[in-house]
Amino acid sequence: MLPQRTLGPNGPQVGALGYGAMVLEGYYGRADEAAGIHVIQHALDLGMTMLDTADAYGNGHNESLIAKAIHGQRDDAFIATKFGIVFEPGEPATPLATGWNLAIPLNATPAYARRALERSLQRLGVDTIDLWYLHYPDPSMPIEETVGVMAEAVRAGKVRYLGLSNVTAEQVRKAHAVHPIAAVQFEYSLWRREAENELLPCLRQLGIALVPWAPLGSGFLTGTVTEITSDDFRQHNPKLTGGNLQANLDRFAPLQQLAASLDLTPAQLALAWLIHQGADIVPIPGTRQAARLDENALAAFATLDQATLQQIDALAPVGSALGGTLVA
């Protein structure tokens, strides 16, 4: 079983690695429903208790898939879901331009939040969501108002803990003043370390956990992504497209050599490095393959010594990757 980590000083315990279920919706290649259920159940068996989903993944399908996978073992899972990206026809939204060459339709108004919560509870088939994130702040309204309505859900017993995603340090401070925030989700990995500049110090000051999304660089850091086809959602990610993909492959090749010298796979090195950044960090790697869950889980048992961590700092400092990130 994986070692445990705590979300915030007095928060809930979860496995040191969670599981990101978004890949089960076919964004990075074909996904099969039965195989997806098996993968989620295998993640739980390994102790990857935090299952990360969002209402928008697969337009609601991902939450229904989680419901099928946890049937009969609800208490083994720590369910984290998100709201705020609009996918239902007829719902109003404010489009926000992002660094991924696409605009995201957002709605975090109190009325929409209340509707989204009821729909998520129904799709997940649970009475309580363990961790409910605002997926992306709505530029049309103050984050304090959104968190105010999220706090209502905690008081009503429908949500245990609140989270934020894709936020600035300033937004975290404003939100946390309204209601305690247990975790913040942000892109953080060996090739996207910008969270270290302002966000992570702020989270540490406030006692909030960081849940790195795309901890494997959306697959790039595993060394297996050498081209992106036109039906792959990662075509929107400027780090993986055009000349940037090859330039980044060249730039990050030494990390793969380092992993081999440590008897780790590149994926294990990427996850072990994140785990070594602090006990307040819980990465949520995604995969459609049970065997890769086994491989990734071993990263939680790897030890990187100081010399290795310094070597990694020299090979992959903040700002190494070419191409923008989602949060523009």
Ligand X SMILES: NC(=O)c1ccc[n+]([C@@H]2O[C@H](COP(=O)([O-])OP(=O)(O)OC[C@H]3O[C@@H](n4cnc5c(N)ncnc54)[C@H](OP(=O)(O)O)[C@@H]3O)[C@@H](O)[C@H]2O)c1
Contacts to ligand X by CB under 6 A: 20-23, 28, 52, 165-166, 185, 213-219, 222, 224, 267, 284-289, 292, 295-296
CA pair distance 190, 271, nearest whole angstrom = 9
**Active-site residue, 57 included:** yes
Residue 292 beta carbon to ligand X: minimum distance, rounded to whole angstroms = 4
Phi, psi of 4 (to 5 degrees): -100, 155
Residue 108 beta carbon to ligand X: minimum distance, rounded to whole angstroms = 14
CA 230 to the chain's CA centroid = 24
51 forms beta bridges with: 19, 79
Angle (nearest 5°) at CA 1 between 160 and 263: 125
CB closer to ligand X out of 259 and 267: 267
Q: Which of 19, 27, 28, 57 is an active site residue?
A: 57
- By CB atoms closer than 10 A (0-12, 13-18, 19+), residue 9 is exposed
Residue 215 beta carbon to ligand X: minimum distance, rounded to whole angstroms = 5
CA pair distance 308, 261, nearest whole angstrom = 11
Angle (nearest 5°) at CA 305 between 276 and 199: 30
CB closer to ligand X out of 11 and 219: 219
CB closer to ligand X out of 112 and 186: 186
CA pair distance 284, 48, nearest whole angstrom = 9
CB closer to ligand X out of 238 and 285: 285
Q: Which two tokens stand for residue 193?
A: 């370390």
Contacts by residues 240-245 (CB-CB < 8 Å, ≥ 24 positions apart): 240/323, 241/323, 244/322, 244/323
Q: Which two tokens stand for residue 220?
A: 């790039």
CB closer to ligand X out of 23 and 200: 23
Q: Which residue has the tokens 């996850």?
A: 271
Residue 253 beta carbon to ligand X: minimum distance, rounded to whole angstroms = 16
* DSSP state for residue 281 in the 8-state scheme: B
Residue 192 beta carbon to ligand X: minimum distance, rounded to whole angstroms = 10
CB closer to ligand X out of 155 and 266: 266
87 forms beta bridges with: none
135 contacts 52 by C-beta, under 8 angstroms: no
Residue 219 beta carbon to ligand X: minimum distance, rounded to whole angstroms = 3
Q: Which residue is nearest to ligand X (CB)?
A: 20
Q: Which two tokens stand for residue 79?
A: 């369910």
**Under DSSP, is residue 208 helix (H, G, I), strand (E, B) or coil?**
coil
Residues acting as catalytic residues:
57
